[in-house]
């Protein structure tokens, strides 16, 4: 009786002897984790400069209806700074809101949230940042802002690689709104807005 009980325990254990083998099966097959392909910002052992994202050769243009000489892409009409928006850009509240979010992200660090040139980088750095509120910039063509964002000016770097052309136009439009906000004629305000101003709100 005792023998048979003991034997059955052994048999049961022996039947489970394959379980440790499972550890071999669940082991580390990570070859699909790292496939022989490039993802953005990968390191490359193939290209001499070591980067998978190769800079495009000079004069490369995207494949579509892209026209590098159009007012949309240059901010210029026949070589002169554009004094109106290109036909692809529709002026509406959504464009202004978009421009505001782009301005606050890309321009405000230096130019400040209201465009007075008192952004946090200007505050910390040794340089003077141009205020957007002067007669020269209030009267300049709107294409000028597009041109400066695209090509940079003075100590300001080009933002062409970071801000797509459509967003640059949105920022240019928002800059106009900022200028109006700091230089509005009291006569333009409605009575309700005047009361808000007087109440200090």
Partner 1 sequence: MSAQIFPRNANAIFLASLFGLVMLVVGTIAAMVGFYLSPWYTDVGVAKAQPVPFSHKHHVSELKIDCRYCHATVEKAATAGFPATETCMSCHSQVWTTSPLLEVVRTSYQTGEPVVWNRIYDLPDFVYFNHSIHVAKGIGCSSCHGRIDQQQLAAKAQPLYMGWCLGCHRAPEDHIRPREEVFNMEWDVNSLSLAERQRLVIEYQIPTDGRLTNCFVCHR
Binding residues vs partner 1 (CB under 8 A): 13, 19, 32-35, 37, 39-41, 43, 49-51, 104-106, 108-110, 120-121, 124-127, 155-157, 159, 161-164
User: How near is the Cβ of 51 to partner 1 at its closest, in Å?
Assistant: 5
Question: Smallest Cα–Cα separation from 154: which of 177, 113, 181, 122?
Answer: 122
Give the residue with the Cβ less far from partner 1, 120 or 189: 120
Give the residue with the Cβ less far from partner 1, 82 or 175: 175
User: How near is the Cβ of 173 to partner 1 at its closest, in Å?
Assistant: 18
User: How near is the Cβ of 172 to partner 1 at its closest, in Å?
Assistant: 18
Give the residue with the Cβ less far from partner 1, 51 or 138: 51
Q: What count of residues does the chain have?
A: 201
User: How near is the Cβ of 191 to partner 1 at its closest, in Å?
Assistant: 31
Give the residue with the Cβ less far from partner 1, 74 or 100: 100
Give the residue with the Cβ less far from partner 1, 79 or 126: 126
User: How near is the Cβ of 91 to partner 1 at its closest, in Å?
Assistant: 22
User: How near is the Cβ of 76 to partner 1 at its closest, in Å?
Assistant: 24
Q: Are 110 and 156 in contact (CB under 8 A)?
A: yes
The Cα 201–Cα 187 span in angstroms is: 18
Give the residue with the Cβ less far from partner 1, 161 or 190: 161
HEC string for the chain: CHHHHHHHHHHHHHHCCCHHHHHHHCCCCCCCCCCCCCCCCCECCCCCCCECCCCCCCCCCCCCCCCCCCHHHHCEECCEECCCCCCCCCCCHHHHHHHHHHHHHHHHHHHCCCCCCCCHHHHHCCCCCCCCCCHHHHHCCHHHHHHHHHHCECCECCCCCCCCHHHHHHHHHHHHHHHHHHCCCHHHCCHHHHHHHHCCC
């Amino acid at each position: 009786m005792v023998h048979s009980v003991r034997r059955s325990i052994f048999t049961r254990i022996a039947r489970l002897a394959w379980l440790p083998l499972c550890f071999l099966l669940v082991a580390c097959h990570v070859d699909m984790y790292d496939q022989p392909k490039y993802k953005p910002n990968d390191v490359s052992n193939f290209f001499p400069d070591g980067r998978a994202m190769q800079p495009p050769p000079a004069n490369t243009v995207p494949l579509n209806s892209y026209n590098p000489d159009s007012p949309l892409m240059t901010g210029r009409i026949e070589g002169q700074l554009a004094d109106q928006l290109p036909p692809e850009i529709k002026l509406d509240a959504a464009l202004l809101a978009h421009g505001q979010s782009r301005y606050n992200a890309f321009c405000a660090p230096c130019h400040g949230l209201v465009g007075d040139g008192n952004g946090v980088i200007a505050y910390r750095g040794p340089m003077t940042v141009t205020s957007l509120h002067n007669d020269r910039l209030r009267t300049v063509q709107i294409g000028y802002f597009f041109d400066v964002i695209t090509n940079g000016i003075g100590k300001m770097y080009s933002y062409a690689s970071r801000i797509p052309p459509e967003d640059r136009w949105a920022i240019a439009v928002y800059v106009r709104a900022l200028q109006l906000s700091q230089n509005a004629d009291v006569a333009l305000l409605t009575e309700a807005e005047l009361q808000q101003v007087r109440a200090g709100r």
